[in-house]
Structure 1
Amino acid sequence: MSVPFEIRDIEPNLLEKVLKLFPTRKDGYVHAGSKNYFLLSKYREEATHYYNLELRPDDVWIVAFPRSGSTWTQEMAWLIDNDLNYERARNEKLTQRSIFFEHSLLMPNGYIKDLLEKNRDDPAKLEFLKDKFTPSYERVAKMKSPRHVKTHFPFSLLPPKLLDTCKVIYVARNPKDVAVSYFYLYQLKGALQKDAEFSQFWDLFQNDLVNWSPFWSHLEEAWSFVEHKNLLVLFYEDMTKDLSAVIRRTASFLGKSITDEQVSELAEYLCIDNFRKQPSLQHVMDNAKGMKEDVPGFYRKGESGAWRSMFPPELSAKADEWIQEHEKRTDISFRY
């Protein structure tokens, strides 16, 4: 099996630019497909497994550019599709109920080998790590139906029959808030140069040099299928403004009946303060030796408009020009 698109190393001058801000990822990056999607170099060895995954008609997929509300949507969609089984949701981690398709892509092989070596004398942690580092596409293949899967891949890098086979929810968010949230995530993970400034990160973001970019190509691919019966497009800004309405739309899309009382209960469960407190939703990894705690702060403010504190007037004007140029290509108009 293979993939019908090219995967190539990024140019040396671009790699140099990226490594100035992300000095720890010396394993490199690739461009994939005609839109030059920017991915970690490990993608080259795993691409065929992602593209050729065997789909099931009762799969539900959450597709989104990073930091667009995909985790929030994962939990909402899983609960609706599983008849509001809060007991299971509270006791089984979301990362097991709704697997992040390319999670293993983020783990350099050297990092995996080092962690396994550091924990070789602790059977329980070693077993945990081996399970964690199993390629995500293998974990997805072994899931019981109905499967829920999250991915940041664009449609062109996913199984080609995805929309004709499965229900897909695409989540979009305005690029200014996406970039701010992405910047803080990289900070929390210790991936950025210590003195990195947001303006430097925005330069990479706008020039399609952060993971899973280009942002606009990702969005435009999804929008080209907006009339497809198996695609529901949600906007993060709508979720923050009227979550109950989004819950009703999602339930209708998934073919589920839901009462007003159930909508209110689910909206309360999903509110950001409650979301942070749920143990099954935590992104802090078990404290295996050598493993970073993935992030107190993974769930940030759960609101729109946080970009205002990060964009000085000159940078905001530059961003607006870029945004307006791209919005002309679709009938999408984000709320800021």
Structure 2
Amino acid sequence: MEGGREPSVWSKRQESCKMPLQGEKVSPEDWLFSYKGVLYPAKVTSPETFEALKSFEARSDDMILAGYPKSGTNWLGQILRELESTDAKYTEEEMKERINEENKLKTFPRLEFGDPGIYERMKKLPSRRIIVTHLPPHLLPPSILQSKAKVLLLVRNPKDTAVSYYHFYNNMPVLPSFASWDEYFPAFMNGKVTWGSYFDHLVEWNKYIDHERIMMISYEELKEDQVLGMKRIAAFFGFSLCEEDFARIAEKTTFQAMKAKSKETHGNFGDILFQKGVVGSWRDLFSKAQNEEMDQKFEECLGGTKLAAKMKYDVYCKA
């Protein structure tokens, strides 16, 4: 699927997410709100939207991409769109229709973003819908896990996720900044960031790891062998693609290729959303004590779990 939706969506979003004027006082509640004990950015969603989300009606052919912020959902979302549209063989007219309907939503494509009326408007989206969310299972609308919709769960090693989220926090106009990495680190560890604790997120998804309609893939395995990862995803969703399709999509959706086009697809937020895209950048910021603290936390929360084994924590997160 070619870019065509994001520019207008992002340009609208940028108008409503401008930084406060210099000297203008901004209180914490202007930036964030709490819903069920977890913080969210007030510029892009609201408690009323979360309440409306409960009534969202999933379709049996919906494709749900779930992942904590900065775990690679922008990248994998584009890969999934390319796989789906290649399998569907949309005509140019059908493609235009899909893009037009998505543009009418007037919000960045995350399930929990927008005004409370967003879910009524989403009913007009043509199937197959690709729905991206940062939410854990207990906050997803019941219809998703009760329907035959399939969920692709993306995970990323928590140290790189923490570092990427730190840069995102300090660059994204809809979020308050942290004065330093050392100020941010305890907030991340204690879930005092938007979307809450990454550890809680992983613990909850681990309960669904054997669910027949949920497949887990890691950011790191996609970086190691993108074509192999895409073949796994295609098999899960029942897509039929040839070797040439996989090669073409892999070339088109490398992190570098997407970053190069990010101004076109995501406006001024492109550089914020696509930073380095490398594995292991956590080594630049973590102190010895912080390393040990996260190793211990991960072991306490996820040690011995299937999800931990699939994430290869010892490979990617040991100093």
Q: Which residue of 2 aligns with 1:140?
A: 122
**CA distance in 1 between partners of 2:293 and 2:144 (Å):** 36
Q: Give me the CA root mean square deviation.
A: 2.8
Deviation of residue 282 (structure 1)?
Answer: 2.5
| Superposed CA offset, 1:3-30 (max 9, x none) | xxxxxxxxxxxxxxxxxxxx66423432
Return the letter of the residue paired with 2:179. A
**CA distance in 2 between partners of 1:143 and 1:204 (Å):** 38
Q: Are the aligned partners of 1:38 and 1:214 in contact in 2 as well (CA < 8 Å)?
A: no
**CA distance in 2 between partners of 1:226 and 1:154 (Å):** 13
Return the letter of the residue paired with 1:79. E
Q: Which residue of 1 aligns with 2:5?
A: none
3-state SS, counterpart of residue 109 of structure 2: strand
Matched, 1:202 2:185: yes
**CA distance in 2 between partners of 1:280 and 1:139 (Å):** 27
| 1:51-200 equivalence runs, <5 A | 51-83=54-86, 96=103, 99-104=109-114, 136-165=118-147, 166-190=149-173, 191-193=175-177, 196-200=179-183
Return the letter of the residue paired with 2:172. K
Q: Which residue of 1 aligns with 2:21?
A: none
**CA distance in 2 between partners of 1:314 and 1:93 (Å):** 50
Deviation of residue 269 (structure 1)?
Answer: 0.9
Q: In the alignment, which of 29, 32, 47 is matched to residue 33 of structure 2? A: 29
**CA distance in 2 between partners of 1:156 and 1:223 (Å):** 13
**CA distance in 2 between partners of 1:256 and 1:304 (Å):** 28
Q: Cα gap change, 1:138/1:245 in structure 2, threshold over 3 Å: closer, same or farther?
A: same
3-state SS, counterpart of residue 131 of structure 2: strand
Return the letter of the residue paired with 1:143. L
Q: Are the aligned partners of 2:159 and 2:282 in contact in 1 as well (CA < 8 Å)?
A: yes
Q: Which residue of 2 aligns with 1:315?
A: 290
Q: Are the aligned partners of 1:92 and 1:280 in contact in 2 as well (CA < 8 Å)?
A: no
Q: Which residue of 1 aligns with 2:52?
A: 49
Q: Are the aligned partners of 1:93 and 1:281 in contact in 2 as well (CA < 8 Å)?
A: no
Deviation of residue 182 (structure 1)?
Answer: 0.7
Q: Are the aligned partners of 1:50 and 1:137 in contact in 2 as well (CA < 8 Å)?
A: yes
| Superposed CA offset, 1:235-287 (max 9, x none) | 01111111111100000011012222221111111111111233696322xxx
Deviation of residue 138 (structure 1)?
Answer: 4.0
3-state SS, counterpart of residue 30 of structure 1: strand
TM-score, normalisation: structure 2: 0.76
Q: List alignment gaps of at least 5 residues for structure 1.
A: 1-22, 105-132, 285-292
3-state SS, counterpart of residue 227 of structure 1: coil
Q: Which residue of 2 aligns with 1:246?
A: 229
3-state SS, counterpart of residue 144 of structure 1: coil
Aligned pairs, how many?
273
Q: Which residue of 1 aligns with 2:241?
A: 258
Deviation of residue 205 (structure 1)?
Answer: 0.7
**CA distance in 2 between partners of 1:31 and 1:279 (Å):** 31
| Superposed CA offset, 1:175-220 (max 9, x none) | 1111111111111124344x71112111101011111112122112
3-state SS, counterpart of residue 277 of structure 2: coil
3-state SS, counterpart of residue 100 of structure 1: coil
3-state SS, counterpart of residue 159 of structure 2: helix
| Superposed CA offset, 1:75-130 (max 9, x none) | 111221222669859x95997599211222xxxxxxxxxxxxxxxxxxxxxxxxxx
**CA distance in 1 between partners of 2:224 and 2:236 (Å):** 20
TM-score, normalisation: structure 1: 0.73
Percent identical among aligned pairs is 25
Q: Which residue of 2 aligns with 1:298?
A: 273
